[in-house]
Amino acid sequence: MFFESGDPLGAARLLEPIVEAEPHNAAARQLLARAYFNSAQLGGAETQLRALIEHDPSDHYAHHVLGRTLERAGRFSEALPHLRLAAAMKEHADYTEALRRVETWVGKHGGRASNGA
């Protein structure tokens, strides 16, 4: 409901107590990570995604969204391994595009965004 209405903050408020009460609920944690990502709460998204990956290192979607989160934060070199893993685990146009974009950035600029980026 909150995602469909474009209210990621509302979704996060709803999901936070669920994840706290059920820390092994991967579906709720993934939704919370998406809510944080969509509301630009990148630190929160990173925390949730790293917990998902720690629980299931083969979660290609968590690797992809963690890579996208790190990319958004300007941490391109840190994003690259997660984007590469996601693209290697599952063929998906979004995964390939994100990987190409970050590889291009790192090739041109190095691993971090400058203050003017």
pTM confidence score:
0.89
- Distance separating alpha carbons of residues 110 and 117, to the nearest angstrom: 12
Q: Across the strands, what pairs with 112?
A: 75
| Angle at CA of residue 94, ends 117 and 90, nearest 5° | 130
CATH number of 1-56: 1.25.40
Please report which helix (H) or strand (E) contains residue 59, including its range: none
CATH 1.25.40 in the chain, residues? 1-56
Query: Of 53, 46, 103, 48, which Cα lies nearest the Cα of 80?
Result: 103
- Do 72 and 64 contact (CB within 8 A), yes or no? no
How far does the chain reach from its first CA to its final CA, in angstroms? 34
Per-residue pLDDT of the chain (117 residues; tens, 9 = 90+): 455 568 899 999 999 999 999 999 999 999 999 999 999 999 999 999 999 999 999 999 999 999 999 999 999 999 999 999 999 999 999 999 999 999 999 999 877 776 544
